[in-house]
Structure 1
Amino acid sequence: MQVEQIEIAQFLESYAPFDDLPEDALNYLAQHIEVAYFRAGTKILGYGEDIQDLYVIRSGAVESYRRNGDLYNRMEAGGIFGEMGLMMNRKVRFAVTAIEDTLVYCIHVDIFNEYCDKYEAFSDYFEAEGSVRLHQAVVEHDDNNDLTTAKVKSLLHRDVVTVRCDTAIQEVAQIMTDEHVSSVLVVDPNKPISDDPEEDDGQVVGIVTDKDIRAKVVANGLTLDIAVNAVMSEQLIFLDANAYVFEAVQAMLKDNLHHLPVLHKKKPIGVISLSDILRYESQSSLLLVRGILAQQSVEDLTHYAKQLNNVFVRMVNEDANSHMIGTAMAVIGRTFKQRLLAMAEESLGPPPIPYCFIALGSMARDEQLIVTDQDNAMILDDRFDEAKHGQYFQNLADFVCDGLAQCGYAYCSGEIMASFKKWRLTRSQWRAIFMSWIEEPKPQALLNSSIFFDLDGVWGRIKWADELKSFVATQGRANKRFLANMAANARNRTPPLGFFKGFVLEHDGEHKRSMNLKRRGTAPLSDVIRVHALAVGSRKQNSFERLEDIIEAKLLPEGKAQDLRDALEYIAMIRIRHQAWQIEQGEQPDNSIDPNLLSPFEQRNLKEAFAILEKAQSFLKFRYQTNNGLN
């Protein structure tokens, strides 16, 4: 190589991801790099322009900007930009301007794609960047291609690659090389296929990626004849082929996944990766959530949380529906919890016994909005000893709940938080208390059931939360008296409609001449749907997904479940748009709205939605009868 090319190679190998490239690949890259120079103040890339190169800053500094002109990032020597455009539709995603005289190395897209395919460490770097972006923005809504209509199976472009669980790692690596894939599914031919429709895993028992082989085998000096089941990842999240792309995005966000197996009738048909999602964004929109996991302190998180209002408003302005907005906000909330829990364990040391931190209420249902408090609890291992372990978990819970409060998630006025000892229970204790609520449905037990029966594992032994959900689904469905009492409880919060179908407004207080769309609208609708979901044994948490199970079970008269779906969506969107409008006006968002702010068309539809809720509550009394009544 020439002296100049040697100098380029030496510079690149000082920065990720080039420092992981083999020497011959690095040298080839150095020989094919183009050099460009930009004076201070010069535009390098404009939003929406075609892009053909990855840019590496050799000297100088640049700034990148969002499409609205807001500063996105500032980079100096070693910084990289342009990768998002290359991974999507080869259109610039962030405009870039030189703020100093700047020298850049330009790597052509063909080499970039080739190296992403050949070197996993190189591709992982940019996929990780994409993962951060999945935590750094929100919906980029494209009116021409809606994530709510595109199916996951449209992302599959090759047959699935599988290996037996007893296959040697060396053979697995050879198969992956021959098939040009970065992951394979591991199957156990001797595993019986479950009859449970909730367990669509068939014979798939794990997944192995290039990263697993590098980190678990090579880095630990294991022999290459070790069976693949010794290093595979067993905690798999599956997606049905008919699921929507935005559901894949949700799953990847929620569980921090880079690979997602896709099933059809319990059989694996492919694996989609984060890069598949990013490439698909060139044809459709993508749910992007702020990069909370990159923050290093509670103070950083607190500062970062100030962006939530803008995230929420942007989703609303880009016409995301209530399901997508609720899911995005719930994912953000979970991620705050996960980061705080990681920080807590870093500060306090590893937990003395296993535990599971759970989210409750709207976060668990993926129906969280910008106005919310924190509802959470903790499941502890049955070996829990208050004298030995109590102080650790008290400190951990206080750290998380106080951190959430600093980030804008208000303390629960009902004290349903893990920081209260009564909501840190062992696995056996949770089962016992859930059973007591079901068998003795007194008023407080019913109130607790309406909160705690919407639960989702956030951190630790997530499976324990799933076990509780299954327990509730089984026990609740079998107890008619409990269902009748839950149904009676779900009729307590009535919609704000008068005898002549006019709006009933608050007469005094801070929200005089308004109506609370959560307390009198979405919350009682969720209560109604929860009762029906319990009756059919649904294990779903989200109200829209519960309605799918209710429809499948034919529990309601034809068309009534769809009416509930429409009513929930309409009231939720009125509530969401009102909160976004308040934020834009510089006001504190809330759940109360003056109907005079709505157009006549909106008022008519809102009254119709409330009427559907009213009829649904009346149907509860007819559908769930008991001679015992409410205790």
Structure 2
Amino acid sequence: MSLLDQKTFISNIPPFDQLKASTLETVFNAMDIAYFKKGERLIRAGTEPDALYIIIKGIVQEIQDEQLVSVYVSQDSFDAMSLLDGNNKNDFIVNEELICYVLPKAFFLKLIQNNAPFKAFYYQDLSKRLNRLVEQRKTTELSSFLVAKIQDIYLEPPVFVDANTSVYEAVQTMTHQNSSSILVKADHKIGIVTDKDIRDHVVLQRYSIDLPIAHIASYHLISLSSQDLLLHALLVMLRHSIKHLLIKKNDEVVGVLEQIDLLSYLSNHTRLVAVQIVRAKNKEDLKVASHNMTNMIKAFYANGIKIKFLMQLVTELNQQLFKKLYAFIAPPALLENSCLIVMGSEGRGEQILKTDQDNGIILRDGFVYDGLEQITEEFTQTLVEFGYPLCQGQIMVNNSAWCRSLKDFKNKIFQWVLEEPLLELAIFYDAKAVAGDVTLLNEAKQYLYKHLQDNQAFFSYFAKPTLSFETPLSLFARFIVDKSHENELDIKKGGIFPVVHGVRSLALAYKITETNTMKRIKRLSDIGLFESAFATDLIEALNFMISLRLQFELKNMNQGESYDNYIKPSQLNKLERDLLKDALKIVNELKKLISYHFKLDRLS
């Protein structure tokens, strides 16, 4: 590694990346490079460390009471907090021969004293450290763009008219096809007329709308193959100062590539999916949009978008897709007399990648539709084709228990409230309307709030599942992993579910109408049940755990493997491990609050 490479290496490691160039130079001069063999003990428990270690190559294990606490790899540093506390509680042992930088303790403490951003890195709150992780994780999507082909992007379907077609008729066709351009066939050549051409010629130059469209078309169009690279398409557009390209496959025009769609693809895939949903004319069109959503999620995650914004975006697109699919399948009479609802993580607006379906239909009292079973079965199976798996608990519209009249739903709600609270009550409480008459769901929810019992026992039993799973963090801040499951931990059971259900229990008790967990937390804070600082940390902890789950979901997806909510702490970097420990500590705080609030210790 050259001197320049060494400086670059250090300057890219938090929090050294926040230092000025002159300060970084003094840091680099103060460092030594050291080599250690496998098995060497770098820091012994109970001793006062004398340096900060930054790994160039190799692996170091942190051991507490003969148990593995953390693993450090290239670009990780240790143990800053022991240097600040003046005491180390754990052993640090070389697991794979180590090459590292060694920064003397005195110099490190001097950096802490003289550099506020450097110091803040070690003392900042959870929210700030999570933001730091996002910045550290940011990557560019340019590499994927460099190998993407035109066939991977949304193309305007080709809409043709004859050269003698009047401007008025051509514009009508454009409007009917929801297209921003139209192709003109004239004398064995193809021309194009865009929205801009209509404006320039018809409006500004007063070209009659009764005259042929051919006279305002642009010819000598440039065409590319659907197999050409997007980068090549962008260069062609820039080189010729054009905004449209004809795209062919086997010499047949298959679409028009617009510059705005290409640039949108370069920045993200959102517009691609949104446009496809809006313009979808049948289920097959929606299927394409649904499958493109995964690429959009990957792109956004890679570019470091905050998880809460990603969840909001995916939720909105999913609901638009469900709404349009329902409109394709359900006759007008059914649309007018029903309400399509989504539940579970989709209802809470916390689903990102496609998990199992959780949906239902509330029918207006007295409304009967022959063939309803066929319609609900088609809806369910179409979602399966779109990539949404069947719900193992059968909470889907094709199950009559979740496709019933408003009166029947009220009867079921009454039963849920009277009996020991079941999972169904929690699922329905998270329901959100996506299509049809939303007042049907609102009336059912109001019935639920009206009949909720005020006795402590009811809400205690409802809240009890919050404590069903052990938090995978020991008293000594060590991850508790499942050794029978490749030393992994279940992030959903251990972290996400307790927050979601604990908050849901409090929200139900206070009849909060929000379905999203983050919004419920804010409302609970507004009424004084959560302190403001705790509410902020709880939201950040939940977002981080969901983000971590997504990270492993995408990793498994890229490897062609299924995902089961397990993550492997040893595959996290130092910052991620520390953040996960902090998040799980907050989960424990919430559990204590839930247990105290609902007096769960008194339940048998």
Among 368, 387, 395, the alignment partner of 1:416 is 395
* Matches of 1:383 and 1:27, distance apart in 2: 59
Letter in 1 for 2:411: A
Structure 1 residue 504 corresponds to structure 2 residue 480: yes
CA 295–352 in structure 1, closer or farther in 2 if over 3 Å, else same: closer
Residue of structure 2 in register with 1:274 after alignment = none
CA 556–368 in structure 1, closer or farther in 2 if over 3 Å, else same: same
Q: Does structure 2 conserve the Cα–Cα contact (< 8 Å) formed by 1:54 and 1:81? A: yes
Among 429, 437, 441, the alignment partner of 1:461 is 437
Structure 1 residue 383 corresponds to structure 2 residue 397: no
Letter in 1 for 2:572: L
3-state DSSP of counterpart to 1:604:
helix
Letter in 2 for 1:487: A
* Matches of 1:288 and 1:138, distance apart in 2: 14
Residue of structure 2 in register with 1:94 after alignment = 262
RMSD across aligned positions (CA): 3.9
Among 308, 318, 325, the alignment partner of 1:333 is 318
Among 477, 488, 512, the alignment partner of 2:464 is 488
Residue of structure 2 in register with 1:601 after alignment = 575
Structure 1 residue 15 corresponds to structure 2 residue 170: yes
CA 304–554 in structure 1, closer or farther in 2 if over 3 Å, else same: same
* Matches of 2:552 and 2:257, distance apart in 1: 40
* Matches of 1:451 and 1:408, distance apart in 2: 22
**Structure 2 unmatched ranges of 5 or more:** 1-161, 176-197, 226-231
Residue of structure 1 in register with 2:300 after alignment = 315
CA 429–299 in structure 1, closer or farther in 2 if over 3 Å, else same: same
Please state how far the C-alpha of 1:426 moved relative to its aligned partner. 1.6
* Matches of 2:448 and 2:240, distance apart in 1: 53
* Matches of 1:420 and 1:292, distance apart in 2: 27
Please state how far the C-alpha of 1:374 moved relative to its aligned partner. 0.3
* Matches of 1:319 and 1:604, distance apart in 2: 19
3-state DSSP of counterpart to 2:479:
coil
Please state how far the C-alpha of 1:53 moved relative to its aligned partner. 8.0
Please state how far the C-alpha of 1:36 moved relative to its aligned partner. 6.6
Residue of structure 2 in register with 1:356 after alignment = 339
CA 350–428 in structure 1, closer or farther in 2 if over 3 Å, else same: closer
User: For each residue in 1:340-360, what CA deviation from the matched residue of structure 2 results, as whole angstroms up to 9, or x when unmatched?
Assistant: 3223225xx743971111101
Letter in 1 for 2:416: W
Residue of structure 1 in register with 2:427 after alignment = 451
3-state DSSP of counterpart to 2:501:
helix
CA 534–397 in structure 1, closer or farther in 2 if over 3 Å, else same: same
* Matches of 1:375 and 1:34, distance apart in 2: 50
Aligned length, in residue pairs: 407
3-state DSSP of counterpart to 1:501:
coil
Structure 1 residue 555 corresponds to structure 2 residue 538: no
CA 404–286 in structure 1, closer or farther in 2 if over 3 Å, else same: closer
3-state DSSP of counterpart to 2:512:
coil
Q: Does structure 2 conserve the Cα–Cα contact (< 8 Å) formed by 1:326 and 1:367? A: yes
Q: Does structure 1 conserve the Cα–Cα contact (< 8 Å) formed by 2:341 and 2:432? A: yes
Structure 1 residue 28 corresponds to structure 2 residue 196: no
Please state how far the C-alpha of 1:547 moved relative to its aligned partner. 1.4
* Matches of 1:408 and 1:458, distance apart in 2: 19
* Matches of 1:28 and 1:601, distance apart in 2: 64
Letter in 2 for 1:497: L
CA 80–384 in structure 1, closer or farther in 2 if over 3 Å, else same: same
CA 53–11 in structure 1, closer or farther in 2 if over 3 Å, else same: farther
User: For each residue in 1:520-558, what CA deviation from the matched residue of structure 2 results, as whole angstroms up to 9, or x when unmatched?
Assistant: 222221111112222333211111111111111111245
CA 421–139 in structure 1, closer or farther in 2 if over 3 Å, else same: farther
* Matches of 2:279 and 2:254, distance apart in 1: 17
What TM-score do you get using the length of structure 2 for normalisation?
0.59
CA 437–321 in structure 1, closer or farther in 2 if over 3 Å, else same: same
* Matches of 2:509 and 2:236, distance apart in 1: 52
* Matches of 1:318 and 1:477, distance apart in 2: 47
Question: Superposition pairs for residues 148-167 of structure 1, below 5 Å?
Answer: none
Q: Does structure 1 conserve the Cα–Cα contact (< 8 Å) formed by 2:273 and 2:290? A: no
Q: Does structure 1 conserve the Cα–Cα contact (< 8 Å) formed by 2:277 and 2:285? A: no
Please state how far the C-alpha of 1:305 moved relative to its aligned partner. 3.5
Residue of structure 2 in register with 1:244 after alignment = none
CA 26–549 in structure 1, closer or farther in 2 if over 3 Å, else same: same
Residue of structure 2 in register with 1:430 after alignment = 409
Instruction: Using the TM superposition, name which of 28-37 and 312-321 deviates more.
Output: 28-37
Among 525, 536, 549, the alignment partner of 2:499 is 525
Letter in 2 for 1:516: D
CA 62–13 in structure 1, closer or farther in 2 if over 3 Å, else same: farther
Letter in 1 for 2:292: Q
Residue of structure 1 in register with 2:383 after alignment = 404
* Matches of 2:351 and 2:400, distance apart in 1: 25
* Matches of 2:207 and 2:471, distance apart in 1: 66
Structure 1 residue 324 corresponds to structure 2 residue 294: no
**Structure 1 unmatched ranges of 5 or more:** 1-6, 65-72, 85-92, 96-132, 142-284
* Matches of 1:345 and 1:447, distance apart in 2: 29
3-state DSSP of counterpart to 2:341:
strand
Q: Does structure 1 conserve the Cα–Cα contact (< 8 Å) formed by 2:223 and 2:248? A: no
* Matches of 2:515 and 2:240, distance apart in 1: 42
Q: Which one has a bigger Cα radius of gyration?
A: 2
Letter in 2 for 1:310: N
Among 610, 617, 622, the alignment partner of 2:596 is 622
